[in-house]
Amino acid sequence: MPTEILIKSDTPIVWADTTDYAGDIGARTHQILLAALAATAARQGDKVDLGAARAAVYAVTMAIEWDVDPTPGDVCSLWWAASPSGTAATANPGGCTGEDAAYAGTAGDSLADSIMQLTLIGNLVCTTDDAPVVQFQTFMFSPEHRYGSPVVWNEAGQALEGDDIEMGIAFTPIIDESQ
């Protein structure tokens, strides 16, 4: 009988705010505060250890809510600051700190220049929906290193919702299984 290679989803790693997250993309495991993220501003989340034996591919779901209707076609981009080090402030690209904080890039460059040292996971393309509608987009992503942190860049013309109740980022491991 031939062997089948199937895929299965494992427990997601979820970045969200510890104080008020109650979203639908999984249980919060790491910190990122997205509330009221201004238009053209960016925020980085805590550095995570994906494990020595990690999935080759992750289904990455981004859940974002705007305070005011964004312009259709505008984007909120999701980036990955891959690192060979598990220490928060060590070996991070583009001036990332490895901790939940505002992200402005390196001291000598603009956000737009510094973020190019990170890996683009994907762009959530906006619709005209604002709160209470949460906009979701899922991407497939293969991290370059065992460690890293997400960076959300709000490139839409409106700020994000003023609370974090439903906003977050989930990395769901996609694992090959032989049967």
Structure confidence by residue, pLDDT tens digits, 160-173: 999 999 999 999 99
Complete domains list, the chain, with CATH: 19-178 (2.60.120)
DSSP string, the chain: -PPPEEEEE-PPEEEE-TTT---SS----EE---TTPPTT-EEE---EE--SS--SEEEEEEEE-BSSPPPTT-EEEEEEEEES--STTSS-GGG--SSSEEE---TTS-HHHHGGGSEEEEEEEP-S--TTPPEEEEEEE--SSSEEEEEEEE-SSSPBPSS-SS-EEEEEEEEEEE-
- Whole-model pTM? 0.95
Structure confidence by residue, pLDDT tens digits, 118-165: 999 999 999 998 889 999 999 999 999 999 999 999 999 999 999 999
